[in-house]
Structure 1
Amino acid sequence: MRFKKYYFLLLLAFLTFNAQAQPVNIPTISEEQLKRHISFLASDSLQGRAPGTSVRGLNMAAKYIEKMGSESSLQILSQTFPLISSQPDEKNTFLKISGKKGKETVYKKNFAALKPHIETLGFSGELVFTGFGWKDSISGYNDFEGMDLQGKVAIYSVGTPESFREGFSYLWNSSQEYQKAKKILDAGAAGIILVTSLQAPRDNTIQQLEQWTKKSNYILEPSNKENLLPIVAATPAFANTLFGKNNKWERQLKSISKKGTPETFITKNKEVQVKLSRKVEETEVQNIIGIMEGSHPQLKEECVVFMAHYDHVGMNELGEVFNGADDNASGVATLLELAAAFAQLAKKPKRSIAFLWVTAEEAGLLGSEYYSKNPVFPLKKTVACINLDMVGRVYEPRDSVWNQSPKQVKKFNEIYTLVNDFNPRLKEWTDSACSRLGLIPDYSLPGKFLHISDHYHFHRNQVPALSLSTGYTADYHQPSDDISRIRFDKMKRVAELCFLVGVELANF
């Protein structure tokens, strides 16, 4: 009798182990459905899925995701929040010089802010030439000796007398320039006009700053006061215009560097007013969340998050639409089909699954930031986040434009698998799933990529995170990122990889 009892227990244990050891069957994932999703999400009619477009394509994408998610029996939640946007106000942006007898000269170009800003940047005061804005305790050189900067606007060149003399002042040392500016502002200056180098082989600094600072900027919440330094950059040609004829600006710098002696002076009868205006608006946007409740009485209070951002960059001034088929309609579509795959299971996983389609990634990871501050499941009960950002492409020779990047688009059998170290088993499960699917995982991306996409807000809260991507292509953030180059067979494999890893995470 005892023998039969032991035999029964041994047989039960064997059957249980064997059942657990059986590889899970992957439900059908349809390439046709993937194509259907991207055909809508990456169509011109959505105008690039950006906030503020005339047809509200971002909202149309959200409604589509809600509808498709409901068809997979997800509990759909819309997490709505305000997005504060700031656009350049060109009409009220100027640099004005007031001279003798009330004469005013207004400039509209050849100057720019040093960094993007939300608020209007403005300052005014008497204009004072301060050479290189340089003070050196070792040599005793001091551009500010005997000069009261209180309430004045200092104009000076990047670099130092020494770097100018040696021909290296075109190398912009950001740390050095910040320290120079801080000392001048601490001395009471109302603002700074920082003039770019005379010696740069091609002085396109202002153009680059304009492209960077004149675009729309976004934040979640207005701060009491933006940490905005009263500094603008200007070209040497602009400085020469301010200082009169015969290249006086250039001659002044050459004289200083040759003699090694400061030549600071207050410009006669010249007041300067700088104003870089911004228009601030509030737009309502939303994250879409689809919940599949877990089957275990206790573990269903925990969740696995699958995430993809559904916004893109809109349109350019020429009216060209940036459809974002790969970035990131591919991730959105893959999540929709992944939800459909989980819906096919006869028994749902033990833990709940949250399918998270976030907005405002292109604006600065703001949708995922909002979710991390207002999670549906507490982050301490989020066992992992799997983020999909650009998962629809395969390497073509034209993509070699990214051959200096660590994230150039992968071949068909390869995928970037960026994983943090908060749960070592996450990498093990990823390796196992890739092996089964014939995929080669690439864990080589530098740590900075943990800060670049939406997984960052989970990573910084110590949630185990896996980011999947096929990499950068020649069409990244270009109007040519269209459905015609999407590889739906690759997307299907990514969806299958997500399913296999997700099953492990939801059931361990």
Structure 2
Amino acid sequence: MKGVYMFPKNRTWRKIPFFPVLFLALFIALFSGRGEINSERVPEKVKTGYLSIQAAHSRAYLSFLAADELEGRDTPSRGQTIARRYIESLYKTWSIIPVGDAQELNRSYEQRVPMIIKHFGEGTSLEIITASSTQKFMAEKDFSYVMGVDFAGTISGPVVFCGYGISAPDLGYDDFASVDLRNKIVLVAGGKPGGQRPDTPFNSPKHWARFEGRRTPAENCARLLARKGAAALLVVDESFDHYVSPHGYIRDARISSSSNRIFSPPLSVADPMVPTFWVSPRIAEALFLKVSKNFSQTVGKIDNELKPNSFALTGLEINIKIDLKQTVSACGNLLGMIEGSDPELKNEYIVIGAHLDHIGMTKDGYVFNGADDNGSGSVGVLQIARAMALNPEKPRRSIIFAHWTGEEKGLVGSRYFLKFPTIPVKNVAAYINLDMISHDCSLDEVKKEAKMFHLPEDEIAHISGQPGKLLRAYISAPSPELATKISQLNADFIGLDVVPLLSFPMLGNSDHYFFAFERVPSVFFFTGGNEYAHTPLDTVERINAEKMAAVIRLAYLLAFSLGDEPNRLSWKQ
């Protein structure tokens, strides 16, 4: 039955003494014969590095990073630390320059990210309190945690309903304009007014990307409410009964990882959000029933009229009890650099990044290996670093290789880097993101997404390609020449079926998102989601190594080209 998986017992994790076997396999694969690469047209200036990117090497490096012994590379974890130490050892042998935290005499490869691991107890609950009754709901069964729920204690306050939690005065719509939010618990519906109706301003070609997605709009709302002094945010999740896990797994169809819940105290201060919870529609309906209203009908009216309908739910309060213990910990980004060849331009940077983390393992020993997500992108950054090191000529700008921590926890590592940079962010000329670059994808799936991006029907009709060659390139719309450069490099030297998808904001499901908000021209290479994502079946055996290597070669050529241009890409917004 589709969506239901049985996991054989031999997929349980093995212990660290098996590492010698992994190193032997890696050694054999790296020094075995090269695969065939059509390099006749590749310029001599970049050819040595280009030829070094081999599919066999991609698979070999990935076999280590996605091994059971790394236990799913959770944030923080021993497995992720081992992965960073492994990459660091390679960077040292390739003379990659460390650009992490400053030390007494030099710099580290690691940018340390302070973290707190949160351990929620069974006592976490939400109560609706009126003068005559108390109705109690329990964590994980009726609601779950998103972000900002970092300390034990109680959050109490009156409740205001604020539509979809959208503030867009430029579109004549603001759910917060008529209500007092200070010290209030704010209830909002998930999604956007009118849903996917094409006639709403929220789905227009110019504005749709601002309101797309699930977690990103909730985070942006939580940031806004922190500035407005609200006490907490409750987001009604219509799929809660099907996706009760905070990680979004279908009930009774997938096993859930015992992944850490974390926050970084410095980041919480620099980028504050109110405590935010996904709540079941049962909670919303119970609240509205207390004030003789119907939640579904109220939201439906907003959908029909496309007008805010915000109001206080008088005569009641919500009391959220948080049963939580903390463990002080830390994790880190890993940052290396090839210095540019131009005495002036070497002070500008092209950053190539990928998140190294995944979601760990279960208490029973099932490992979420994260081969595609995102061992593949991590290997991509690694192979590009090796290619740049081997290539006799260097680009004029410096190239930074970034392995982010905590992407699965809310882009923690890349956000931390931008808030506490180890190099001037204003000097970053472009960002290339590699995330899930090793799977085949269907043409129908790509065309469906192109329609969401408002590509013209005639352009969508002309999209073609085989599953083993299709590649999405999400690109920051204010830098359209980046799309032109990617398409040209691919046509001249690679031969993938690349589909450029431009928007701003960029879709916020990976580490490129906040770089684009810093006005950094950005691209996110992605071969697509798949049925194995966030399950113990995301293993090396299921990747397409040839496609993965082709994507890495394209990213290498792009980084070299952007690094060598006399002028930076423009930002036209």
* CA contact 1:294–1:353 (8 Å) conserved in 2: yes
Alignment of 1:211-290 (within 5 A): 211=246, 216-219=261-264, 220-223=266-269, 227-228=274-275, 235=282, 274-290=320-336
Alignment of 1:285-300 (within 5 A): 285-300=331-346
Residue 434 of structure 1 and its aligned partner are, at CA, apart by 0.5
2:489 aligned partner? 433
With over 3 angstroms needed to count, the CA separation of the structure-2 counterparts of 1:34 and 1:123, relative to structure 1, is closer
Among 355, 358, 367, the residue aligned to 1:309: 355
**1:432 match: secondary structure:** helix
CA distance in 2, matches of 1:415, 1:374: 32
Write the letter of the residue equivalent to 2:94. S
CA distance in 2, matches of 1:215, 1:379: 30
CA distance in 2, matches of 1:366, 1:32: 32
Residue 307 of structure 1 and its aligned partner are, at CA, apart by 0.8
CA distance in 2, matches of 1:284, 1:191: 27
1:506 aligned partner? 563
Alignment of 1:146-161 (within 5 A): none
2:376 aligned partner? 330
* CA contact 1:410–1:471 (8 Å) conserved in 2: no
Write the letter of the residue equivalent to 1:75. I
CA distance in 1, matches of 2:155, 2:476: 45
CA distance in 1, matches of 2:342, 2:63: 37
1:496 aligned partner? 553
1:320 aligned partner? 366
With over 3 angstroms needed to count, the CA separation of the structure-2 counterparts of 1:489 and 1:124, relative to structure 1, is closer
Aligned length: 415
Write the letter of the residue equivalent to 1:35. R
Residue 278 of structure 1 and its aligned partner are, at CA, apart by 2.7
Write the letter of the residue equivalent to 1:62. R
With over 3 angstroms needed to count, the CA separation of the structure-2 counterparts of 1:87 and 1:446, relative to structure 1, is farther
* CA contact 1:114–1:209 (8 Å) conserved in 2: no
Deviations 1:429-486 (A, max 9, x none): 2112100211222113654544321112211111111211111111122221111111
* CA contact 1:95–1:106 (8 Å) conserved in 2: yes
Deviations 1:225-251 (A, max 9, x none): 863489976848x979xxxxxxxx89x
CA distance in 2, matches of 1:315, 1:283: 18
Write the letter of the residue equivalent to 2:562. L
1:89 matched to 2:121? The reply is yes
The structure whose Rg is larger is: 1
**1:380 match: secondary structure:** helix
Residue 303 of structure 1 and its aligned partner are, at CA, apart by 1.6
1:471 matched to 2:528? The reply is yes
Is there any run of 5+ residues in structure 2 with no aligned partner, and where?
1-41, 99-108, 161-183, 190-213, 218-227, 249-258, 298-312, 453-464, 566-573
* CA contact 1:122–1:230 (8 Å) conserved in 2: no
2:422 aligned partner? 376
Write the letter of the residue equivalent to 2:560. V
**1:335 match: secondary structure:** helix
1:362 matched to 2:384? The reply is no
With over 3 angstroms needed to count, the CA separation of the structure-2 counterparts of 1:417 and 1:124, relative to structure 1, is closer
TM-score, normalising length: structure 1: 0.66
Q: Percent identity?
A: 28
**1:452 match: secondary structure:** coil
* CA contact 2:353–2:381 (8 Å) conserved in 1: yes
Deviations 1:245-293 (A, max 9, x none): xxxx89x989xx9xxxxxx9999xxx99652323334321111111111
With over 3 angstroms needed to count, the CA separation of the structure-2 counterparts of 1:320 and 1:460, relative to structure 1, is same
**1:443 match: secondary structure:** strand
1:141 aligned partner? none
**1:375 match: secondary structure:** coil
Residue 309 of structure 1 and its aligned partner are, at CA, apart by 0.8
Among 131, 140, 143, the residue aligned to 1:112: 143
Residue 85 of structure 1 and its aligned partner are, at CA, apart by 3.8
CA distance in 1, matches of 2:358, 2:528: 16
With over 3 angstroms needed to count, the CA separation of the structure-2 counterparts of 1:295 and 1:277, relative to structure 1, is same
CA distance in 1, matches of 2:342, 2:137: 68
* CA contact 1:83–1:282 (8 Å) conserved in 2: yes
Residue 363 of structure 1 and its aligned partner are, at CA, apart by 0.8
* CA contact 2:397–2:563 (8 Å) conserved in 1: yes
**1:322 match: secondary structure:** coil
With over 3 angstroms needed to count, the CA separation of the structure-2 counterparts of 1:302 and 1:410, relative to structure 1, is farther
Write the letter of the residue equivalent to 2:531. A
CA distance in 1, matches of 2:425, 2:539: 35
**2:430 match: secondary structure:** strand
CA distance in 2, matches of 1:69, 1:403: 39
Among 491, 500, 506, the residue aligned to 1:443: 500
Residue 493 of structure 1 and its aligned partner are, at CA, apart by 0.8
RMSD (CA atoms): 5.0
1:342 matched to 2:388? The reply is yes
**1:362 match: secondary structure:** helix
Write the letter of the residue equivalent to 2:546. D
Write the letter of the residue equivalent to 1:354. I
**2:267 match: secondary structure:** coil
* CA contact 2:476–2:506 (8 Å) conserved in 1: no
Residue 355 of structure 1 and its aligned partner are, at CA, apart by 0.8
* CA contact 2:369–2:539 (8 Å) conserved in 1: yes
Residue 106 of structure 1 and its aligned partner are, at CA, apart by 8.2
CA distance in 1, matches of 2:418, 2:360: 25
**1:451 match: secondary structure:** coil
With over 3 angstroms needed to count, the CA separation of the structure-2 counterparts of 1:122 and 1:351, relative to structure 1, is same
With over 3 angstroms needed to count, the CA separation of the structure-2 counterparts of 1:216 and 1:441, relative to structure 1, is same
2:208 aligned partner? none
With over 3 angstroms needed to count, the CA separation of the structure-2 counterparts of 1:298 and 1:432, relative to structure 1, is same
Is there any run of 5+ residues in structure 1 with no aligned partner, and where?
1-19, 131-152, 159-173, 176-185, 198-202, 241-248, 258-263
**2:52 match: secondary structure:** coil
**2:376 match: secondary structure:** helix
1:122 matched to 2:154? The reply is yes
Stretch deviating more after TM superposition (280-289 or 329-338):
280-289
Deviations 1:84-104 (A, max 9, x none): 34342224547599999xxx9
CA distance in 1, matches of 2:486, 2:342: 24
**1:444 match: secondary structure:** strand
